[in-house]
Amino acid sequence: MRQLVKKSDQYYLLMKTTLFSTHTLMGWLVFGISLTVYTLTVEPTASFWDSGEFIASAYKLQIPHPPGPPLFLLIGRFFSLFALEDPAKIGYMVNMLSAVSSATTVMFMYWVIVMLGRKFDAVKNETLLTIAGGIGALAFAFSDTFWFSASETEVYALSTFFISIVLWAILKLDQSGEPVVGSQWTLLIAFLMGLSIGVHPMSLLAIPTMVYLFYFKKHQLTLKGITIATSMALGLTLFMMYGFRLGLVELMKKMELLFVNTLGLPFYSGVFFFTVVLISLLTFGIIHSIKKQKALLNTVLLSASFVIIGYSSYMVIVIRSGFDPPIDQNNPENIANMIGYLDMAQYGTRPLVYGENFTSKVQGYENDQPVYRKTQDKYEITDYTTKYQYDSSDLGLFPRMYSQAPHHVAGYRKWTGLKNGQSPDGLDNIKFFLAYQTGHMYLRYFLWNFAGRQSDVQDAGWLAFWGNADLLPESLKQNPARNNYYFLPLLLGLIGLWYHFKRDRQSFLGVLALFVITGIGLVVYLNSPAPEPRERDYIYVGSFYAFSIWIGLGVLALHKLWQKMVAQRYALVAAAGMAAVVPLVLLQQGWDDHNRSNRYFTTDLARNHLASCAENAILFTGGDNDTFPLWYVQEAEGFRTDVRAIVLSYFNAEWYIEQSTRQANASSPLPFSLQHESYKRGGFNDYILHVEHPNLKGKPIDLRQYLKLLKTSHKALQVETSTGQKINSLPSKLLSLSTDMDGVKEKKIVPDTIVPFISPKVNIPLTKNGLEKKDLMILDLIVSNNWERPIYFTYTALHSLNFDISHMVVQEGYTYRLLPVNNPNPEEVLVDSETMYENLMHRYKWRAIDDPNVYYSTFHKNQMTHVRANYNQLASALIKEGKLEKARKALYQNLHVIPDDTIPYDVASINTARLLGYIGEKEKGLEISKTMTKRVNDELNYYIERRRGDSENITKNLTLLNMLCQNLDEAGALNEADRARQLLRRYYDKFNQL
């Protein structure tokens, strides 16, 4: 008993020492500082891109885009509970998951730096380690990319947390002196690795660090040793990424197919059998290893078990998908669908080591992997993925320029200097890899974080401290994201890198492995095309984490340097004082462009789109930013759930069409006439090719009759492709849609001002050489709906179709309603001015756009151009109708909602100025034109006179200046117009000489 008491006392003392040690308390202090900053700057609702989707999915445990983050969703759901039944707070609380995750990451990073510093024999000073850890951790906390992720709902904050805690656990194991085999730390690392897969696979990239640290603990640091360790690190990482993460599910899928399709057993019997066998084998193996005292086998089997337990969070995806939630991407409710979801099959593949380039010609096709669909009693093969075949002369090593999308081809040629008709060779691929993928898409981001950033304009460069800011135009000089760190974080990190290399090669290689594989390694793996739709710096946050460790270790190097010059007691103060500038300058420079508090624009824009729609409407949206904020507003805040938002880009997928045929919240199923046979994957209608019938050249065919033939797969429509597959065709590029005019008028769906445009028959021309499945389903919906439910399109969706219905839509706000009308003037949109006036002036709500203290990025400002354009569209319609007072109110509401002092005038403001002149407000219009002329002159002076060579910005501003010349002429400001015209000629001539 006494021995037990003694052991208990020792345990108590150990716990007391650990819990209240200086480094423990300092770690929590760093956590508190970081969390305070993140809490003050976090966005209160959804932001653009994936945030809205993730908040909505976390709140109701729904299924976001592949590969899905089930653990993230579970934790996000927990955070959403703190909204306390206030829907408006749900977005904020789920955003706080990223804030807390990021602050915890910073805390563990502090402990990582301290433990790495302790490995240096010369370091005895615990106070110095405390300062080094705090400065390195806070430098990362306030770095550009990491702070950005901490302020919104995305997976990268929590994923970086797993990298940080895994690295901490690896160092704890190393510090404990225990062998890897048999250590409880090893099992903890395995469990964390398994859990991390449920957030983002990026977390597995910490594996090489572990391999390097423990391999070189027992082996010499030689070329042979590095080669062996690197092979082991890459092999284990690839096994976890593919052999385990995907392979385990693939084996389960094969067992399920055997049991169900071959043996005729019930669904999920194969999955159940596989699970039982796997658990039994692991259990038997563990018991056997204990009996036989086989430590290595025991550790391997226990580690595998803990990884699988962590990975089991993916059962959430399967279970929740089985309940058919409104957001159910790819419908991964069974094992056949799950493997494609995990593998992100919908995004295609990119050649990495050997493959085609953008000029390669497809020589043929072959079926690759089967695509299964769950039927009544088995899994049926409905299609195969396609594998393209190329001539061997068109294939090469390290293919960096592979995409044949026109905008990517233009990007490839821009970055390599290839002319039209030229094909890239090996050197061109290397050039593109170095210039664009490495330089523009990684090093630029790296320097954003540790040197400085020019602005938040897309493709903005890094900032050198020696540039003269006085020469900048106001738009760049006043850009909140113009952050100058004076190279201080970079220099301190490089010093720390060198010091780490000199003092401890073993741990240096471990950190270097993390830095390289999450940096240049990802550059090689991702093989990014040019251009990307948005900045992708968040991808490389693991690399920036590793470099920030060296910032902390740089403090040790500074201390060592000062020791040689001053007394010991002053060296610590001098080193700490110099290094403390780094996190302070990062915080000071980054605050204004990372402070998202009181920014509601994304949510308000989504709400206003939904508010534009009539009851029980169907709204077709375009890309992510059209859709995900709408999902957030509907699913989290419960606003206008009667509106069915249909993502046009998903509407080619069989699973998504099926989901649209069922109830979603308060929205009824879509009334299609086409059945599953007509839209299934691998059927006749995956793509309907236009094959002109000689008797129908230039003549329309009746849409209803065509759909009837299509439903029966009439042989007259079928044509054979080059692969021998039969598909349906379209014999004319012109479709006609007849309308029951009396029935339409009786429904009173067409406003009085638009009634004259109702047409008994409307032609719908094709704009491409065929119809995608999404086009077919929309045409079927138009016919089968018969004008019962209101159908709307966002601007993006309307212009993403393969047929033209712009003459059939009426603008009612930010959406366009489809009606049986025929606009005789395709240059102008029909406007329901009364409905649009009610929407813009009374129904739409905007919060804090007029607040100069709220940060709006250039991307937000570009979105607000469309808001301004809508007010202009309304005013223009009212002026044509002679309603000048209403037009005046609309124009001044435009200037009030989006004032120039918070969101500077843009291209839409030029039209605002012109319209003000039409209603007798020439002075106000002239003021806007003069202000913009001065700003455009400043921009052109910078880009042309300073030889900046930014052709896109120069072209944009030359166009603006030309429009302003016309405005000034119309306003009667002839002298100003002449001066503006002289500037236009001068800048145009100089632009041609560049």
Contact yes or no for 51/45 (Cβ under 8 A): no
Given a cut of 80, whether residue 20 has pLDDT beyond it is: no
For the record, the structure tokens of 527 come out as: 């093989």
Q: What is the mean pLDDT of residues 952-970?
A: 88
CA-based nearest residue to 596, from 201, 45, 89, 975: 45
For residues 904-930, average pLDDT? 92
Cα 541 to Cα 149: distance, rounded to the nearest angstrom: 9
Give me the pLDDT at residue 564, please.
84
With bands split at pLDDT 50, 70 and 90, how would you rate the model's confidence at 949?
low
> Is the predicted pLDDT of residue 130 greater than 90, yes or no?
yes
Contact 973, 926 (CB under 8 A): yes
Q: What is the mean pLDDT of residues 832-850?
A: 94
Confidence band for 5, pLDDT divided at 50, 70 and 90: very low
Whole-number pLDDT of residue 994: 67
pLDDT > 70? residue 2: no
pLDDT given for residue 467 in this prediction: 66
436-458 tens-digit pLDDT: 999 999 999 999 999 999 999 88
- Whether 10 shows a pLDDT value over 70: the answer reads no
Q: Which residue has the tokens 């976390």?
A: 58
User: What is the Cα–Cα distance from 537 to 665, expressed in whole angstroms?
Assistant: 36
Of 686 and 431, the one with more pLDDT: 431
CB 964 within 8 A of CB 936: yes
Place of tokens 């329901």: 832
In this prediction, residues 423-436 reach a mean pLDDT of 93
Q: Are 875 and 891 in contact (CB under 8 A)?
A: yes
Q: Is 90 exceeded by the pLDDT of residue 623?
A: no
Confidence of residue 572 (pLDDT cuts 50, 70, 90): confident
* Coil, helix or strand at residue 682: coil
- Helix, strand, coil proportions of the chain in percent (round to 5)? 60, 10, 30
Mean pLDDT value across the chain? 90
**How crowded is residue 614: how many other Cβ atoms within 10 Å of its Cβ?**
16
Residue 624 has pLDDT above 80, yes or no: yes
pLDDT in the model for residue 716: 81
At 724 the pLDDT is: 67
Whole-angstrom Cα distance, residue 185 to residue 168?
Answer: 10
Q: Specify the DSSP element, H or E, that contains 687.
A: strand 687-690
- In three-state secondary structure terms, 855 is coil
Give mean pLDDT, residues 741-751.
Answer: 86
971 falls in which pLDDT band (50, 70, 90)?
confident
Residue 308 has pLDDT above 70, yes or no: yes
For residue 433, is it left (φ>0), alpha (ψ between -120 and 50) or beta? alpha
Place of tokens 């991407």: 329
pLDDT of 991: 83
pLDDT digits (tens, 9 = 90+) for 410-426: 999 999 999 988 889 99
DSSP class per residue in 906-959 = -HHHHHHHHHHHHTT-HHHHHHHHHHHHHHHHHHHIIIIITT---HHHHHHHHH
Cβ atoms of residues 579 and 492 within 8 Å:
yes
The dihedral over CA atoms of 710, 716, 721, 727, expressed in degrees to the nearest 10, equals 10
Over residues 313-321, mean pLDDT: 94
Cis? peptide before 67, omega within 30° of 0: yes
Mean pLDDT of 650-664: 93
Residues 185 and 172: beta-carbon distance below 8 Å: yes
Question: Contact 490/581 with Cβ under 8 angstroms?
Answer: no
Q: How many CB atoms lie within 10 A of CB 615?
A: 10
CA distances 360 to 292, 367, 408, Å, are 59, 20, 14
252-261, 712-721, 919-928: least confidently modelled range: 712-721
CA dist., res. 610 & res. 644, Å (int): 10
Backbone angles phi, psi at 909, to 5 degrees: -70, -25
When comparing pLDDT for 572 and 35, which is higher? 35
Q: How many CB atoms within 10 Å of residue 156?
A: 23
Q: Is residue 277 packed enough to be buried (19+ CB in 10 Å), middle (13-18) or exposed (0-12)?
A: exposed
**Mean pLDDT over residues 584-613, rounded?**
95
Q: Tokens representing 202?
A: 């990026």
Q: What is the average per-residue pLDDT within 99-114?
A: 96
What pLDDT, on a 0 to 100 scale, did the predictor assign at position 211? Answer: 87
Per DSSP bridges, beta strands 791-793 and 618-621 are: parallel
**Does the pLDDT value for residue 612 go beyond 90?**
yes
Q: What is the pLDDT of residues 528-540, one digit of tens each?
A: 999 988 999 999 9
Mean pLDDT of 827-856: 93
Supply the pLDDT for residue 4. Answer: 41
Lowest-confidence region among 225-229, 248-252, 523-527, 883-887 = 225-229
- Adjacent-strand bridge partners of 737: 762
- pLDDT by residue (tens digit) across 344-387? 877 778 888 999 998 988 888 888 888 888 888 899 988 888 88
Give the pLDDT confidence score for residue 121 in this predicted structure: 59
Q: Look at residue 611 and tell me whether its pLDDT is greater than 90.
A: yes
